[in-house]
Amino acid sequence: MEGAFKTKGEIMEIELAIYFVIVFLGLQGLYRFSKNVSLTMLTIGNILILQYSFINYEWELLILTIMMMIAQLTRVIWGEE
């Protein structure tokens, strides 16, 4: 599949979008996952975003992800059943 992606930036954007989708799936309410599945998806997605932002020196994204991770995890852990 040569030439499908023109730059490294395009590949990184797709990679980051996949990580955001993982977090979205853990938070969405259309299909209710169990609390354990939601926590797993949130944790994995956010850790991947943290790793991406650290490796690519995206400090704003790193700080924003940490803040959002706290909000997301507390909402799922202490939220309604």
Q: Where are the domains of the chain?
A: 8-78
Residue with tokens 């852990």: 77
In the predicted model, what is the mean pLDDT of the chain? 87
Task: Assess whether pLDDT exceeds 80 at residue 2.
Answer: no
pTM reported for the whole predicted model: 0.83
Q: How far is CA 56 from CA 12, 35, 36, 49, 60, in A?
A: 10, 31, 30, 10, 11
Per-residue confidence (pLDDT) for residue 4, from 0 to 100: 62
